[in-house]
Amino acid sequence: MARKNGKEMETGVLAQAESEPAGPGDGPTAVPIAEAAEETVGEGESPGRPESITLERGGAEQVTADTVRITMGAAGMVEAKEVSVVQGAVGMVRAEDVSITQGGVGMVAAEEVEIRQGGAQWILAREEVSIEQGGAMWITAGHVEMKPGSGAVFVIAPRVEGEIRALFDWRGALAFGAAFGMVAGIVRSARRRR
């Protein structure tokens, strides 16, 4: 932790907080993430969090803003209305719209998710998931669109479009569960006999 202007803040983590420019030629400036949360709140914005944070070639434990853009960086947890990850990684994302390009996310909870040449382990989306040349282990959504070169292990959705290469559909998952249960029962019986 470092101190600046009498306040403690984390060092080595920089972001850009965008607010309305004060005058001509004034644009976004790079500030520590701890200070980005102190930006003034405009009309329609959430109080206590900045309008936008851009994280480039850096890392952060937790990022909260209306819009978060991560380029060649990483974050543990991101909460925002809109999240864009390009060649980066995030542990968990909670947002309305999520876009991942050549990056990876551990868990996504969002309204809509779009993945291009990237992946996610768990995706939970209320509305739509679109994956192009990417993959996921588990997808639960209202509508899933799998474009060429995409795959998933488990897909649970009322509507699925495209060339889906799921390891298990609902019938396969049911058969796998039954077979796994039988094998587990046999192993358990064998252990009890000893």
> Half-sphere exposure of residue 44, counting CA atoms within 13 Å on the CB side?
1
pTM: 0.65
pLDDT surpasses 50 at 175: yes
Q: Is the pLDDT of residue 29 over 50?
A: no
> Which range has the worst mean pLDDT, 9-18, 95-104, 160-169?
9-18
Please report, for the chain, the start and end positions of each structural domain, with discontinuous segments joined by +: 1-95
What is the pLDDT, as a whole number, of residue 47? 58
Tell me the per-residue pLDDT of 61-115, one tens digit each, with 9 for 90 and over. Answer: 999 999 999 999 999 999 999 999 999 999 999 999 999 999 999 999 999 999 9
Note the pLDDT of residue 162. 87
* Residue 156 scores a pLDDT above 70: yes
